Amino acid sequence: MTLSYGVVVPIEPTGELAAQDVLRRLYPHAAADERDFIWLRWRAAPFFELVAT
């Protein structure tokens, strides 16, 4: 779930670590988490997928 896009569907992890300064700038709500984050390709979930699950 994202603040701007709602429910998203992960497609493919890139394996590239997200730098902490970039993470803080783009995702301030997640920046306090001390775990490592990786970049991930995703797509917005269409309505039919939301009601089918």
pLDDT of residue 34: 84
| pLDDT confidence band for 2 (50 / 70 / 90) | low
Spatial separation of the C-alpha atoms in residues 45 and 49, rounded to whole Å: 6
Q: In this model, does residue 1 exceed pLDDT 70?
A: no
pLDDT in tens, 8-53: 899 999 899 999 889 888 888 877 888 889 999 999 888 888 886 5
Q: Quick one: CA dihedral 28, 29, 33, 39, positive or negative?
A: negative
**φ, ψ for residue 14, nearest 5 deg:** -85, -25
